[in-house]
Structure 1
Amino acid sequence: MTLLVVTAVQPEADAVRAGLDDRLTVTAVGVGPAAAAAGTARLLALAEAGGRPYTGVVFLGIGGGFAGRVEIGGIAIATRSIAADLGAESPDGFLPIDELGFGTARVDADAGLVATLRAALPDAALGTVLTVSTVTGTAASTTKLTARFPDAVAEGMEGYGVGCAAAGLPFAEVRTISNVVGPRDRAAWRIPAALAALTKAAGALGLA
């Protein structure tokens, strides 16, 4: 499989490259689902036009982990990436786009890629990774998310966008954890630990 590996920002790309020894192309495509989708789609189109198409896409990045499901410095592998805030508000609560009949907020990860990553990273948490445009920063918002997605292990801002851009190609999302999802406390973030875990996670891609 010829994998396209993408991250949101350059420090993540650098951490991933450190674990790959230049075996795969790694590109930062931007923060948020729209930028990540556009950047990924452009890279896929350029590769196909050049006669060297990619046959799979993997997003690696740092993110928040849900308490009790994955620790800071740990690794989460997505079984599916869900756009958790794509939908509409209503007096009865949030209505996901699936219920509105306008498509789906879910991209399933490729079972083969997930199995390969999990075999190489047996301590990783496995479950839903949520994509949000606004990072969760209150206890109330966290409670609502965990009620809607009881199998959610982590939160980020790009996975669903990258998964949509993959457009049927095998796709996977991996998050390493810099902070606990909940009340925003920047002083408690452990970004160096998450970047170090990202380097470790990248090594698993050499097996894919």
Structure 2
Amino acid sequence: MTFEDSHPLAGSPSAAGSREPAKPRILVVTAVEAERDAVLRGIAGAPGGSPAAAFDAIAAGVGPASAAASTALALARAAATYDLVVSAGIGGGFVGQAEIGSLVLSDRIVSADLGAETPEAPGFLSVDELGFGSARVDANHAWNERLLAALLRAGLGAIHAPVITVSSATGTAATAALRAELVPGAASEGMEGFGVATAAAQLGIPVTELRAISNAVGPRDRAAWRIGEALQALEAAFRAIAVHIK
């Protein structure tokens, strides 16, 4: 689904005959439609319905494989003309790092379960340690500064920390502790970020991940989830970005 303003991407001539600078073009990739719709509601909240960037938003499916395939397809269809790709959605927050309702903006996107189990502590080796490639993609620093500034202008804050990607969501205290040990400082967990980041990185497009926290990473307790609150935080974040991104 696309949210487009009424002006050409290349800008239009001003009264003085010069051309206005092009708005940045941003692809937002969520897992499911509820997340995508929250993003689009936020973007639509820009004054006059005219956001400060040209946004496309897609629901790519759950998990890193679906996210990578759908992102790659969207980038191919657009001839890779995006300035930024954002993996966005709700997610788990590590206790003591990100509380329910807060926002986390990644500084690194890490596939926390891509590797091999081992009998030795800590019981896991990443593909980096195995020598089979890398399970990490750095978020774009310059774009993160712009996004953080936009959030701050709207009175919102965001934790700037690693976000991990998993194929199986954490459901026990032991797994939460292991993943926190493997990725020191990790603040949030999702299931799509590394897939989105891998597709963007293949084409050299800046990428980052933004998560609104719906639950604590750890023992699975659906009664404690606050999905509605997290979706509202995600909507507010994209309203701030649509209004204030520079």
In the superposition, the TM-score normalised over structure 1's length comes to 0.95
Give 1:103 deviation, angstroms.
0.5
Percent of aligned positions that are identical: 53
Give 1:203 deviation, angstroms.
2.2
Pick one of 97, 102, 120 that aligns with 1:74.
102
1:184 paired with 2:207, answer: no
SS in structure 2 of the partner of residue 176 of structure 1: strand
Q: How many residues align?
A: 205
Match of 2:37 in 1: 14
1:103 paired with 2:133, answer: yes
Q: Amino acid of the residue matched to residue 62 of structure 1?
A: I
Q: Where has structure 1 moved over 4 Å in runs of 4 or more? A: none
Task: Give unpaired runs (5+ residues) of structure 1.
Answer: none
For residues 240 and 86 of structure 2, the distance between their equivalents in structure 1, rounded to whole angstroms, comes to: 11
Q: Amino acid of the residue matched to residue 236 of structure 2?
A: K
For residues 15 and 47 of structure 1, the distance between their equivalents in structure 2, rounded to whole angstroms, comes to: 23
Contact kept, 8 Å, 2:101 with 2:213, in 1: the verdict is yes
For residues 240 and 147 of structure 2, the distance between their equivalents in structure 1, rounded to whole angstroms, comes to: 6
Deviation per CA, 1:81-120: give whole Å up to 9, x if none: 0000000111112010001111000010001111112122
Structure showing greater radius of gyration is 2
Pick one of 44, 51, 68 that aligns with 1:37.
68
In the superposition, the TM-score normalised over structure 2's length comes to 0.81
For residues 236 and 211 of structure 2, the distance between their equivalents in structure 1, rounded to whole angstroms, comes to: 12
> What is the RMSD computed on CA atoms of the aligned residues?
1.3
Q: Amino acid of the residue matched to residue 126 of structure 1?
A: H
Task: Give unpaired runs (5+ residues) of structure 2.
Answer: 1-23
For residues 180 and 82 of structure 2, the distance between their equivalents in structure 1, rounded to whole angstroms, comes to: 35
Match of 1:2 in 2: 25
For residues 95 and 68 of structure 1, the distance between their equivalents in structure 2, rounded to whole angstroms, comes to: 25
For residues 204 and 170 of structure 1, the distance between their equivalents in structure 2, rounded to whole angstroms, comes to: 20
1:199 paired with 2:229, answer: no
